[in-house]
Structure 1
């Protein structure tokens, strides 16, 4: 009989902090990769018993290219992804109304990388390979967390406990770390009222990816660039996105708008993120919806569903919220745990990676034996650097979500986007692509780009503590100096 100790001290050390990361999603893995390269002690705890390759496609552009280059996987990522030149808007009659694209713009020349589409499971596998297996602990559902002057402790559902110096909640929208943290803050009357409200959601999503197809089945599959289609319905309560991938698969997502009644029906599904259990009914409801394949033969979502292994179909909630509280004491949140962004903007994965970069910079900059004040200062600097970009991504996702909604306002938005002057579109894209954060303690990415990156405070993360170090050294020297005669 396997009897594990009630408490496991992850590492015995004196100088550098030990980081406990709860959640082995893209954000948690990205942070783990950077801590691994920084030789900072860490462990990752994942509540599921196995890593499942679920999800549809992910869009990554120049804003994450420096990170992928710095950790040495950009060439692999580039090889398994397809360039995304345009987002095409079509109607239920399979007619393309317009495309959001700028054929004259060379993204690689301007931003250092182009926008690319990759299957979420493939991106995940690339990142997963960078983390030693022994650093990831499965079937570790966190029930409670405690923090104090001597560190943090997590208690898992199997009765085990783990201790460390810093706790990172990277455990998705219904983060157990956030819930425990907020409960502690609420008891002390320190939680903003808005953070105590339930996560709002107005849509659910059916996602999947087919097995590899050939040109006779889906003609667009052989085109060099990904064919990214937004297919809008006339009177159905959803719209459909399809993406072709480098592996000759079709990734798809069906976004369903919820009414007050259907929202109640889906409320019980809130916490089963990336679940396949509830997908069956929705699959039947959307089977007859027409899709665009690039050929004359009429295909429907039913064809894609039939070409998809059942274990690769899942239904997910699409909550939307930016929380006010990202940290307290020795606990900090990243990714969906502190900002859940609608996938209409394709910014969720990128922002989780950006969080990991900035937080890793500040953790690496710690002096030996960081104090509670050091940790609080680093966490504040992390949020200060990220919040503007997160809010911008959230607003962009809301605008893109509205564009594919029902009613006269979305139609007006689509009309405005269709005839938007090229210089306006370029200015908006330049603002987005100027945020290209890097890891200061790894060799910097020097890929040429005509657009200068936006300022990144965490590139100088050591300055946050060096000034204080200087003042403390001076104080110590004064105390040791002999009294003047």
Structure 2
């Protein structure tokens, strides 16, 4: 069996490594000419880290990533709403990791080259079209260096090519619109003094005005400093989806005034904003869940299948869980005299589509960050104590319900171990 993977992001690379681990041949095709450590920070929850640990990459990642110790929520006045331990401190068998996205991607790419062989990771090849027949899939790639079209044949094809997926667009050319929330994100990294214990992730504000912070560099932490990944989020007037380039560099003056008073005894957010070398602007978008991912011998994975708001630290995590499920389904085919590839892909879809669709929709309702929204709606000017506004049981239920939905409640992971 030969698998064509379109996209060398985190999901595509994880799938390639998992297939190789199961003795399944695959080739990974990426449209960019050279993989570079682009982007900002991401957070990997214990269910995703469990899968990476089974690939044998946890120790390597842990050398650079922060093992997140806690998650805190605050209102826009800096008053605490909800706090909980995370990762090892919460009793999980593996840590929750905060890391630069580019570092994670390059680590997985280097491992793919080592294990699969350099000839199985192809860059500079952009998918243009595909065809299917009862025996397999033919993919046509444009070589971005030569302009030539290259034809690749495989038994099946996996679209792991992100939110602007060419594979997804092949099957849904007219009904694949981005859904804009009306909110903009500004993301950056700032080297600064540590806040709290140097390993805590926090969120402050509410859905229309929010600030997120978490450190992402263990080497810098050991030097007494902190490399802080942060996100500022605001609802914008006249919320039409921007037509200019995304991921563009902007000046802090575009949004910083909204956070000018957010200076508390344990962190100075205006100073964090001022310390960034470059600030990138993104619209907060997702897409409506699809009725199906699988079309005969082709299916989708990760952001190509279920782009979601970056709420609850679930984007990359769900791509990794997709990869695990799909790799297991394909491995099971090895025992069959006449492998039914189409059935395996449908079984993968039947397991993963409802789960991820639920997360997409729950993230539109703020996911676990709903605790901040409730506090703001019930007491926008602050409170003496949060439990006078939102009972502790209600806060705990929101946190536990999202863990169950997203698949990282401790009981589920203990049964997986």
TM range (shorter): 0.7 to 0.9
CA 110–156 in structure 1, closer or farther in 2 if over 3 Å, else same: same
The answer to whether 1:324 aligns with 2:296 is no
Separation in structure 1 between the aligned mates of residue 103 and residue 396 of structure 2, nearest angstrom: 35
Contact 1:208 1:314 in 2 (8 A): no
| Corresponding residue SS for 1:130 | helix
User: Cα offset for 1:65?
Assistant: 2.8
Q: Between Structure 1 and Structure 2, whose CA radius of gyration is higher?
A: 1
TM value normalised by structure 2: 0.80
Contact 2:138 2:153 in 1 (8 A): yes
User: Cα offset for 1:427?
Assistant: 4.1
Separation in structure 2 between the aligned mates of residue 238 and residue 109 of structure 1, nearest angstrom: 29
User: Cα offset for 1:418?
Assistant: 4.5
The answer to whether 1:336 aligns with 2:299 is no
Separation in structure 2 between the aligned mates of residue 102 and residue 149 of structure 1, nearest angstrom: 52
What aligned pairs does 1:99-248 form with structure 2 within 5 A after superposition? Answer: 99-102=81-84, 110-132=91-113, 133-157=118-142, 158=147, 159-183=149-173, 196-202=175-181, 203-210=183-190, 212-213=191-192, 215=193, 219-220=194-195, 223-231=197-205, 238-245=209-216, 246=218, 247=220, 248=226
CA 429–172 in structure 1, closer or farther in 2 if over 3 Å, else same: closer
Aligned to 2:383: none
Contact 2:203 2:210 in 1 (8 A): no
Cα deviation 1:52-105 (Å, max 9, x = unaligned) = 3233322222212321221112233334223141223241xxx322242236x9
The answer to whether 1:380 aligns with 2:352 is no
- Segments of structure 2 that go 5 or more residues without pairing to the other structure are 221-225, 381-385
Larger strand share, 1 or 2: 2
Aligned to 2:58: 74
CA 429–263 in structure 1, closer or farther in 2 if over 3 Å, else same: closer
User: Cα offset for 1:339?
Assistant: 0.6
What aligned pairs does 1:418-437 form with structure 2 within 5 A after superposition? Answer: 418-421=390-393, 424=397, 427-428=400-401, 431-432=404-405, 435=408
CA 413–400 in structure 1, closer or farther in 2 if over 3 Å, else same: farther
Aligned to 2:274: 303
| Corresponding residue SS for 1:141 | strand
User: Cα offset for 1:22?
Assistant: 0.7
Cα deviation 1:127-157 (Å, max 9, x = unaligned) = 2222114322222111111111232122223
- Segments of structure 1 that go 5 or more residues without pairing to the other structure are 1-16, 184-194, 437-448, 460-485
Separation in structure 1 between the aligned mates of residue 264 and residue 67 of structure 2, nearest angstrom: 17
Separation in structure 2 between the aligned mates of residue 71 and residue 279 of structure 1, nearest angstrom: 35
CA 98–293 in structure 1, closer or farther in 2 if over 3 Å, else same: closer
Separation in structure 1 between the aligned mates of residue 209 and residue 105 of structure 2, nearest angstrom: 28
Separation in structure 2 between the aligned mates of residue 160 and residue 330 of structure 1, nearest angstrom: 20
Separation in structure 2 between the aligned mates of residue 71 and residue 407 of structure 1, nearest angstrom: 38
Q: CA RMSD in A?
A: 3.5
Q: 2:7 aligns with which of 16, 23, 38?
A: 23
Contact 2:169 2:176 in 1 (8 A): no
| Corresponding residue SS for 2:353 | helix
Separation in structure 2 between the aligned mates of residue 434 and residue 295 of structure 1, nearest angstrom: 32
Aligned to 1:97: 79
Contact 1:206 1:255 in 2 (8 A): yes
Aligned to 1:51: 35
CA 328–102 in structure 1, closer or farther in 2 if over 3 Å, else same: same
Contact 1:250 1:304 in 2 (8 A): no
CA 199–170 in structure 1, closer or farther in 2 if over 3 Å, else same: same
Aligned to 1:62: 46
CA 31–407 in structure 1, closer or farther in 2 if over 3 Å, else same: closer
User: Cα offset for 1:403?
Assistant: 5.2
